[in-house]
Amino acid sequence: MKYKVFVSFIAYTHNGGGKVAGFLKAVDDYLSSTFECHEIIIVNDGSTDSTASEVESASRGLNGNLILINLPWRHGLEPAMTAGLHKSVGDFVYEMDSIDTDCPDDFLRKMYETAVTGFDIVAGVPEAAQSMSSRLFYRFINRVSYADLHMTSETVRLASRRAINAMLSLKEKFRYRKALYLLTGYPKKNLLYRSPSRGRSGRPWYEDLDLALDVVIGYSNIGIKAIHFLSASLAIGGWAIYGYFFENVIEGWTAIMVFLSCVFSGLFFILGMLGEYILRILNEVKGRPYYTVSSVKVFSETANAAKAGRVGRLERDSQATEPSR
């Protein structure tokens, strides 16, 4: 029996050309065997490989609409997925942050079944697949954040339409969906799954680092605190070192240098930190579009079926006759 809901499935890819066909087939099989209606949305984040044409040829034979959103340059995960969310029309929406995620169909189904018991947001967390760095990161952010975030690595998420609407209407320019969903206040549940392979985001480390920095700045005031702390401790440290060297150096030259360098490094750190916050304000004020789309392609259910040689699935109710007047 299929669930009588409309489900959207959004997946992110950057240069995933070789893998999209297999991914689409698997997701389409799962969705069409579980739900009455579905659409798949692929967000192609500035791929330089053949991703777009691979998606087009993989649309053949799919059982629902496939929408390809092409972004003209690389935006990064969060803006790209937001583009997908804006396009989606489903009552429930799966968000998969990488097409490399291999989470089993049974688990995806369990996510939906959990959602309908009263959780607007259900997240899939790979068991024991977290890398050291992401474990440390989440420990850190959960500790320093002023919001009660309870964040972990999530590779796939299912959200209800009302949770998505609430999340999208939060005006923040820097969008970290995981935290924004929590801010909506809708009930959330994390489900563990055993991933056959080690979960990797597939992004280079510097992008992860960038995202991590954004999250820390966006959801905690640790930066401000660090500035206060640093300015105090550097002053004390500078004085201590000065004292230590005072007896050995006749001219006092080293002491002054150490003092100066400590103070300047502290100052630059503070400036850097302030710069981050000012950048944030600038971005909010500029009101630039959050993402730019170069094209959207809809591969309709009809066209997908026709390409696979299944044309004109006759339905009794799609008959229309001239209204009698």
Partner 1 sequence: MRYDHLILGAGIYGLYAATLLGKRGLKVLVAEYEDGPFRRASWINQARVHHGYHYPRSVSTALRTAMYYRRFNADFPFAINRSFKKIYALSSVGSLTNAAQFLKFCEHVGIPATEINASAYFNPQYVEAAFETEEYAFDPFAVRDSLMEKARETGKVDFLFGARLLNAERQGGVYSVAFGDGRRVEAPAVLNATYSSTNQVLSKFGFQPMNIKYEICEVIMVGVGGRLKDAGLTVMDGQFFSVMPFGLTGSHSLTSVAFTPHMSSYEKLPVFMCQERNPECTPGQLANCNTCPAKPSSAFPYMNQLAKKYLATGMEMGYEGSLFAIKPILLAAELDDSRPTIVMRLSEEPSFVSVLSGKINTVYDLEEVL
Binding positions for partner 1, rule: CB under 8 A: 6, 36-37, 39, 65, 67, 86-87, 89-91, 161, 165, 168-169, 293, 296, 298, 300-303, 306-307, 309, 311-315, 317-323, 325
At its nearest, how many Å lie between partner 1 and the CB of residue 184? 13
| Euclidean distance between CA atoms 129 and 145, whole angstroms | 24
CB 92, min distance to partner 1, A: 11
The CB-of-287 to partner 1 minimum distance in angstroms stands at 11
Closest distance to partner 1 from the beta carbon of 65 (Å) = 6
The whole-angstrom distance between residue 275's C-alpha and the CA centroid of its chain comes to 25
Instruction: Show the DSSP H helices in the chain as ranges.
Output: 17-34, 51-58, 77-87, 105-115, 132-144, 161-169, 177-184, 205-219, 222-246, 253-286, 301-307
**C-alpha torsion angle, residues 177, 180, 184, 189 (rounded to 10):** 60
- Cβ distance to partner 1 smaller for residue 65 or 153: 65
What are the structure tokens assigned to 83, written together?
């583009």
Q: At how many degrees (to 10) do helices 161-169 and 177-184 cross?
A: 110
Question: What is the nearest approach in angstroms of partner 1 to the Cβ of residue 299?
Answer: 10
Residues pairing with 95 in the sheet: 10, 157
Question: Residue 91 or 102: which CB sits closer to partner 1?
Answer: 91
204 or 287: CB nearest partner 1? 287
* Complex with partner 1: residue 248 or 319, whichever CB lies closer: 319
Q: How far is the CB of 148 from partner 1 (least distance, A)?
A: 26
Nearer to partner 1, 204 or 312 (CB): 312
Q: Which is nearer to partner 1, 150 or 288 (CB)?
A: 288
Beta carbon of residue 56, minimum distance to partner 1 (angstroms, whole number) = 13
**Cα four-point dihedral sign 34, 185, 77, 85:** positive
188, 182 in Cβ contact below 8 A?
yes
Nearer to partner 1, 104 or 185 (CB): 185
What is d(CA 145, CA 282) in angstroms, rounded to the nearest whole number?
22
Residue closer to partner 1, measured from CB, 154 or 301:
301
Q: Which amino acid is at 315?
A: E
Rank residues 280 and 297 by Cβ distance to partner 1 and give the closer one. 297
Q: How far is the CB of 319 from partner 1 (least distance, A)?
A: 6
Residues 6+ apart with CB under 8 A from 37: 5, 6, 7, 64
Q: Is the separation of the CB atoms in 303 and 59 below 8 Å?
A: yes
Q: Which two tokens stand for residue 262?
A: 């400590």
Whole-number minimum distance, CB 313 to partner 1, in Å?
A: 5
Residue whose tokens read 């992401």:
134
Euclidean distance between CA atoms 120 and 115, whole angstroms: 6
